[in-house]
Amino acid sequence: MPRYKRKNIFWPAVFFMVLFMVRSVSAEDIRVEGTVDDSAIELGSSVQFRITVYGVQQGTPPELPAIPDVESHYLGPATKVSIINGQHSSSVAYNYQLFPSKTGTFKIPAVTLNLQGRDYSTQPIDVQVVDAGSLPGAQGNQAQGINLRDKIFLVMGTPKKECYLNERIPLTVKLFVTGLTVKDIQYPKIRHEGFLMDDVKEPRQGHQVIGGIEYDVIEFQTFIYPARTGDLSLGPTTLVCNILIQRNRRPDTGFGESDSFFGNDFFTEFLGAYDTHNLTLESADLKIRVQALPEEGKPKGFSGAVGQFDFNASMGPAAVKVGDPLTLRMTITGQGNLKGVSFPALSENNDFKFYDPQIKDDGNGKILEQVAIPLNDKIKEFPALKFSYFDPDQKQYKTVTQGPFPLQVTALPKEEQMKVVGVFQDNPSGVLPEVVGRDIGFIKDRPGRLMPQGGSPAGTGTMLGLVLITLAWAALVLFHNFSQRLKKDEKFARRLHAPGHARRGLARARTYLEQDNQKAFYDTLFKTLQKYFGHKCHLPDGAVNLETVSGILKARGMDPGLLEKLKNVFDQCEIVRYASSRVDTARMRESFRLTQELIDDFERNWR
């Protein structure tokens, strides 16, 4: 059979349409089909036999071979040109009417046509002829008594009845229709417990001959992936549609409604000759045995990929500095459970830091892009990446290795060293913040220093201490000030010392009095007074005499009686000291007493 080169659809279609319009032969494949409108008829009725030649637009009607006990009449040709799913097709149908003359089964033999130098043959078709009245509603295609199961049915199928876990299995659901007008076809609902299923694709239309009857076929395709092992049941599948059933149908001549799949005779519908019936079709279920993947030979990094895959990886740039980003790109393409496929995992280590990968699925495969940061300049390569999968056709595991990828990493000068940014930005140590709980701490196990309640003894003691300290300090300061004054203020010091000197002088005088030493007594008495008033009035000793002292005392407002007393004592001392008179002890005592009183009086009254 010559091989026909596939061509782009649009322009060849136009070309073919042009060819059709000038009645030239198109370049599509030629095939021949033989079909009947009914495979069981009653005696006395006829069956229409059609030979359809696809791929041609004209030809010579073939001669039917003789069929015993069957008369045949050629009805005429019918040409059809259509564009379905973008495909241009043309056909010529040669219609025959066959009249059996007896009951039984007769075979319409294969009919051979020679087209373009080649022979094409139909398949033999058996037709059953029964007695009249044996078939329910056998005349034409009346609504009553039509066995719809023969006219429209749903078939679900897979190429495999045994498969592996997660293996990708094609699943097709076909709607077969003949002799009916179907509309409002919904997508089939497939019960797929234990399987994962892709979305059902857009349906395709076609034709198929089953038992000599041509069916229009709508095919739905998808893929299933068994999710567990064991004997699983797929389906049943249901499909909902509406069928139009003609109330008074005209004989089928090979033209018109029966040739048109989505029959839409405007006039018959307008006149209300069709009834719409909602139909729910159900397919049989499928049994599929799912095996577990073999353990023997399972690679270490196998993550469950089943199918036939290609794995590619690349890394760039090849020369970077420490801390500069590298881009790792991995792609997985092929046939299999792509959605469940995992890329080789990259774990953090001392050489590289990895960021979260970006994974895309473009329909043809999965693509991963990930940034890696080299952490030191000792790195010479990026390690190899391995992807393992199980090939169900070859029943073995396969591993694809990419890399290692040579890498040149140079260190940064110290001043240019950068920190790795990202999640570790606030943690230069690289330690992720720890999430900790919170609660109160445990009780103390020792009571500490138990104190009487209500106040600290330290408070009272402190106050007492502060008071004492203050008093002591004040005393010492005063004393210091006093000492300093004594040192610096002679007048004050002399005045302060005057009584002391006077007392000592009087004590000496008393001694002389006891000894009855009159001269020494009066000398001492005089000198005591002299010193006393000298200190009190701040006069040199030699300048102290009665006149001087009296004048000062008068100026100070002293009591005149005291001045008189002072004069008497001075006179007594003068008399004895200079006159050398002898006085008795009583007189001496009197002088001593006067002097004592005088000093005391002056001390009391000194201002």
Partner 1 sequence: MKNFILGLMFFSLLTVSGFAGALSRQEATTLFIKAGLSYEEGQFARAAGQYQEIINGGWESGPVYYNLANSYFRAGELGKAVLNFERARRLMPRDSDLEANLSYAMSLTKNPPAVKSLWQTFKGKLLVSFSRTELDVALCVLGLVLASVHLWSLYGQWPGRKRIFICGLLATLFVLVGLVLIGQIRWEKNSAIVIKDSSCKFEPRLEATTYFDVSPGLRVKVLRDFESWAKIERPDGKQGWIIKENVEKI
Q: Where are the alpha helices (DSSP H) in 177-321?
A: 266-270
Indicate the residue among 446 and 582 with the shorter CB distance to partner 1: 446
Rounded least distance, CB 606 to partner 1, Å: 30
Phi then psi for residue 78, to 5 deg, are: -145, 125
Respond yes or no on whether the N-terminal peptide bond of residue 499 is cis (omega within 30° of 0): no
The DSSP secondary structure of 225-237, one letter per residue, reads: EE-S-EEEEE--E
Among 359, 476, 486, 543, binds partner 1 (CB under 8 A): 476
What separation in angstroms does the CA of 441 have from each of 228, 321, 435, 437, 499?
52, 49, 18, 12, 76
Q: Least distance to partner 1 from the beta carbon of 469, Å?
A: 5
As given in the structure block, the two tokens for residue 324 are 């500069």
Rounded to 5°, the CA angle 347-349-351 comes to 125
Size of the site for partner 1 (CB under 8 A): 32
Sole window of 97-105, 204-212, 425-433, 441-449 interacting with partner 1 (rule: CB under 8 A): 441-449
Judged by CB under 8 A, the stretch of 39-47, 261-269, 342-350, 476-484 that binds partner 1 is 476-484
Selected from 10, 270, 442, 578, the binder of partner 1 by CB under 8 A is: 442
- Which region among 287-295, 435-443, 491-499, 545-553 touches partner 1 (by CB under 8 A)? 435-443
Compute the distance between CA of residue 94 and CA of residue 457 in angstroms, rounded to an integer: 129
Quick one: 58 or 456, whose CB is closer to partner 1? 456
Cα–Cα distances in angstroms (integers) from residue 179 to residues 129, 142, 262, 289, 421, in the given order: 20, 11, 11, 37, 72
What is the 8-class DSSP label of residue 304? Answer: S
Question: Which residues lie below 8 Å from residue 163, measured CB to CB, with a gap of 6+?
Answer: 169, 226, 288, 289, 290, 291, 392
Q: Within a 13 Å sphere around the CA of 54, how many CA atoms are in the beta-carbon half?
A: 15
- Interface residue with partner 1, options 3, 414, 446, 607 (CB under 8 A): 446
We find the least distance from the C-beta atom of residue 480 to partner 1, in angstroms, to be 5
Using the rule CB under 8 A, give the single segment among 77-85, 153-161, 420-428, 440-448 that binds partner 1.
440-448
Instruction: Choose the stretch contacting partner 1; rule: CB under 8 A; options: 171-179, 196-204, 297-305, 442-450.
Output: 442-450
Which of these ranges, 212-220, 371-379, 472-480, 515-523, lies near partner 1 under the rule CB under 8 A?
472-480
Minimum CB separation from partner 1 for residue 451, in Å? 6
Cα dihedral across residues 9, 14, 18, 20: positive or negative: positive
x/- contact string, 448-467, with partner 1 (CB under 8 A)?
A: xxxxxxx-xxxx-xx--xx-
Which CB, 466 or 507, lies closer to partner 1?
466
Q: Could you say which of 149, 300, 414, 438 contacts partner 1 (CB under 8 A)? A: 438
Residue from 421, 431, 435, 440 in contact with partner 1 (CB under 8 A): 440
Q: Does 294 sit near partner 1 (CB under 8 A)?
A: no
Q: Calculate Rg over the CA atoms of the chain.
A: 68
Q: Interface with partner 1 by CB under 8 A: which range of 58-66, 155-163, 470-478, 491-499?
A: 470-478
Task: State yes or no: residue 478 binds partner 1 (CB under 8 A).
Answer: no
Residues 79, 91 contacting (CB under 8 angstroms):
yes
Does residue 470 interact with partner 1 by CB under 8 A? yes
Residue 536 dihedral angles phi and psi, to the nearest 5°: -65, -40
Binding site for partner 1 (CB under 8 A): 438-454, 456-459, 461-462, 465-466, 469-470, 472-473, 476-477, 480
